[in-house]
Amino acid sequence: MLDRGRSNPINHQMVLDLANAIKDLETDKEVGGVIITGKPGFFSSGIDLMEAYDYNEEQVKQFWTDFLALPQALASFKKPLVAAISGHSPAGGCVIALCCDYRVMAEGQFIIGLNEIPVGIIVPDSIFNLYSFWLGQNKAYQYIMEGKLLTVAEALRDGLIDDMVTQEELMASAEKKIRAYMQMNRVTWSTSKLNLRKELIGKLNADQTENLTIMLKQWWAPATRKGLEMMIENLKAKSAKS
Amino acid sequence: MLDRGRSNPINHQMVLDLANAIKDLETDKEVGGVIITGKPGFFSSGIDLMEAYDYNEEQVKQFWTDFLALPQALASFKKPLVAAISGHSPAGGCVIALCCDYRVMAEGQFIIGLNEIPVGIIVPDSIFNLYSFWLGQNKAYQYIMEGKLLTVAEALRDGLIDDMVTQEELMASAEKKIRAYMQMNRVTWSTSKLNLRKELIGKLNADQTENLTIMLKQWWAPATRKGLEMMIENLKAKSAKS
Amino acid sequence: MLDRGRSNPINHQMVLDLANAIKDLETDKEVGGVIITGKPGFFSSGIDLMEAYDYNEEQVKQFWTDFLALPQALASFKKPLVAAISGHSPAGGCVIALCCDYRVMAEGQFIIGLNEIPVGIIVPDSIFNLYSFWLGQNKAYQYIMEGKLLTVAEALRDGLIDDMVTQEELMASAEKKIRAYMQMNRVTWSTSKLNLRKELIGKLNADQTENLTIMLKQWWAPATRKGLEMMIENLKAKSAKS
């Protein structure tokens, strides 16, 4: 379960914790499958921009390096991995969900999608490949290029999520699915999973150095910094009200 | 026409016969295009598990080697190739249909799809690429990982088949389509076909040694043998009733 | 704006002009984005078969070489590129539209699609990759192999176009979209665009020598020449009437 503050924003520590947890769960023989969930209202609000804004050059570099490595680790997880999306799931929150085998989302006024571009963050091809695996290239392209956030109903219609249930049914629904996966022979299921993801994982594992260099340069561009400042002001204002 | 017993199960001999037939039909100048069909009720029930269960180590290895080579041969066939799916078409039956240019299926309480995983058989990436060519990666992934068998209506909705007609209209419908293809200039049509399948054929032709090693190991695993025994008992019981 | 005769047929000069224009627009700092449009009734009728029929061997070779290089140039354009499809858009007209980020089309009895095969022209894999980027592989394959031309409503349903508006609203709609793209940070948007198209552009840039050799051989085949003659007769008869 993602558990960091009200909205589960992803900071560097959380990236490392998640990567470590998934490594442990993979080797733990007691664990047959894993459900990732958040809190009612928020699966994860994505990257913690308030914290990341204050990272220095070295910290930002390390943060993005580790964040881009996270989909590799999650997408290559050998056991069944189901996302029980308990609320909002933009940007980085959506990326985590995309790595899972199956996505069930709670009904409600929630949004999900990759809205990096309006925030000023460059989308690497690895993330596009992950998005288009589920959405197809057409919708993945159009949605990323306009920074679209989808409602739960839109996400279901477009195949970004596989099922929509009430908040109360969310965990039961995720468990039902993971049990169905676990009923299959584990070697057959797990080997087939990695076969089906072979091309995708290959793309996620491709060298990200060039992408990183460009992303970092753009991160420190005055326009991006200004955009982030405005967003953070907004978040603080919202946070003060709620 | 597939013709082996009531349900056209695929044994080693049938794989070899089909591969040879397709080679002969390709060079036969009298042949403009080919329709593959089965019997009313069964297109093909897939791999003949009863026979394959009794293959020895060398026979199983040769069988799987030749079976994995079949999609390469069928998918690279230069002339129009249409599947007239006359009935049930799970697993191996579905694979044969997937190699064709066009699939028309008879209405009825039939099923079609790749249900290898519940049977304990590993799905290689080549078969996933073939499935996702028609279904898209999302549905291909979800359906394989849960071993889903689709109704005829579902197959039509998802693009797994291109048309659904009555059993009586089946051959006429397949012939109509193949004649439309044959009206085009043969060189233009055939060269374009191979162009459009270039990436797919490249993936089907990729070395399968690693896949085979893992599949064979899993074939002989006690859990798989036990699963096959139970399936065969079921098939025998059904067969005795009918 | 495409402007050549009544129906904007594409001859060699137009290919060169378009390639040059796009190069100039890319470096022109006053230009934030580009809309490609045609005339009411015709976006572009595709390759100018009447003129191309009369090209000699060297001219045909040069024409096809430059025409196959056009999608590379258009698809790699760094700025927002929107197609305002003002009317018919078969074959080459459709190819130009496919390179854009977004396609809006005028309502009306217009057709759009890749109908090369019935005309006797071989479709290279690069064009299939472009088509299937938007349509998915299933529809792209079926439509190309039967030479299907889509109505505007069908094109919208299948994602070949992104919006359908009246002829009067066409330019305003294209401008609205391009302004939305231009509101984003230019470096972020443009870098992301090229990231998302990385694989597609790689395929478009692949060496076309082998394709060209086969296409040219088929261009000069008596059957193709005869087909072109019949088409040209038809076009002249139509043209005389209108």
pLDDT in tens, C141-151: 999 999 999 99
What are the chain C neighbours of B182 within 8 Å (beta carbons)? none
B185 contacts C224? CB cut-off 8 A = yes
pLDDT for A236 beyond 90: no
**Torsion sign over Cα C5, C8, C14, C18:** positive
**Sheet strands side by side (includes C34-37):** C34-37, C81-85, C102-106, C163-165
B39: left (phi over 0), alpha (psi -120 to 50) or beta: beta
pLDDT in tens, A193-230: 999 999 999 999 999 899 999 999 999 999 999 989 98
What distance in Å separates residue A189's CA from the closest CA in chain B?
Answer: 6
pLDDT for B5 beyond 80: no
B187 contacts C221? CB cut-off 8 A = yes
What distance in Å separates residue B214's CA from the closest CA in chain A?
Answer: 8
Q: What is the pLDDT of residue A180?
A: 97
Q: What residues in chain C have their Cβ under 8 A from chain A's Cβ atoms?
A: 101-102, 132-136, 159, 162, 180-181, 184-185, 187-189, 191-193, 195-196, 198-199
Residue of A nearest to C159 (CA): A138
B137 contacts A133? CB cut-off 8 A = yes
Q: What is the pLDDT of residue A242?
A: 60
C141 contacts B136? CB cut-off 8 A = no
Chain B interface, best mutation among A157, A178, A182, A188, by max B CB count within 10 A: A188
A191 contacts B145? CB cut-off 8 A = no
Tokens matching residue B165 = 């007609």
What are the chain C neighbours of A216 within 8 Å (beta carbons)? none
Mean pLDDT of B14-30: 94
Nearest Cβ partner for B144 among A132, A180, A196: A196
Q: Which band of pLDDT confidence, cut at 50, 70 and 90, is reported for residue B242?
A: low
What are the chain C neighbours of B78 within 8 Å (beta carbons)? none
Q: What residues in chain B have their Cβ under 8 A from chain A's Cβ atoms?
A: 116-118, 120-125, 128-129, 136-142, 144-147, 211, 214, 218, 221, 223-224, 227
Q: What is the pLDDT of residue B231?
A: 86
What distance in Å separates residue B139's CA from the closest CA in chain A?
Answer: 8
pLDDT for B6 beyond 80: no
Binding partners of B (≥3 Cβ pairs within 8 A): A, C
Query: What does each C-alpha distance from A232 to A39, A79, C56 come to in angstroms?
Result: 22, 37, 65
C147 contacts B188? CB cut-off 8 A = no
What distance in Å separates residue C118's CA from the closest CA in chain B?
Answer: 6
What distance in Å separates residue A218's CA from the closest CA in chain C?
Answer: 7
What distance in Å separates residue A146's CA from the closest CA in chain C?
Answer: 7
What are the chain A neighbours of B128 within 8 Å (beta carbons)? 195-196
B117 contacts A195? CB cut-off 8 A = no
List, in sequence order, every beta strand (DSSP E) within chain A. Answer: 34-37, 41-42, 81-85, 87-90, 102-106, 111-113, 150-151, 163-165
**Torsion sign over Cα C177, C196, C105, C68:** positive
What percent of chain A has a predicted confidence (pLDDT) above 90?
88
Nearest Cβ partner for A124 among C185, C187, C195: C195
Mean pLDDT of A20-37: 95
pLDDT in tens, B148-200: 999 999 999 999 999 999 999 999 999 999 999 999 999 999 999 999 999 99
What are the chain B neighbours of A193 within 8 Å (beta carbons)? 145
What are the chain B neighbours of A132 within 8 Å (beta carbons)? 137
C227 contacts B185? CB cut-off 8 A = yes
Mean pLDDT of A108-113: 98
Query: What does each C-alpha distance from B103 to A77, B90, B152 come to in angstroms?
Result: 35, 14, 11
Q: What is the pLDDT of residue A29?
A: 93
What are the chain A neighbours of C132 within 8 Å (beta carbons)? 137
Written as one string, the DSSP assignment of B26-84 is HH-TT---EEEE-BTEES---B-HHHHHH--HHHHHHHHHHHHHHHHHHHT-SS-EEEE
pLDDT for A3 beyond 90: no
Query: What does each C-alpha distance from A63 to A36, A141, A146, A184 come to in angstroms?
Result: 21, 26, 25, 37
Residue C145 burial by Cβ neighbours in a 10 Å radius (0-12, 13-18, 19+):
buried
Q: What is the pLDDT of residue A4?
A: 74
B199 contacts C125? CB cut-off 8 A = yes
pTM above 0.90, yes or no: yes
What percent of chain B has a predicted confidence (pLDDT) above 90?
88
Chain B interface, best mutation among A190, A192, A198, by max B CB count within 10 A: A192
Residue B138, helix vs strand vs coil: helix
Q: Which residues of chain C are modeled with pLDDT < 50?
A: none
Q: What are phi and psi of A154, to 5 degrees?
A: -65, -40
Residue of B nearest to A158 (CA): B138
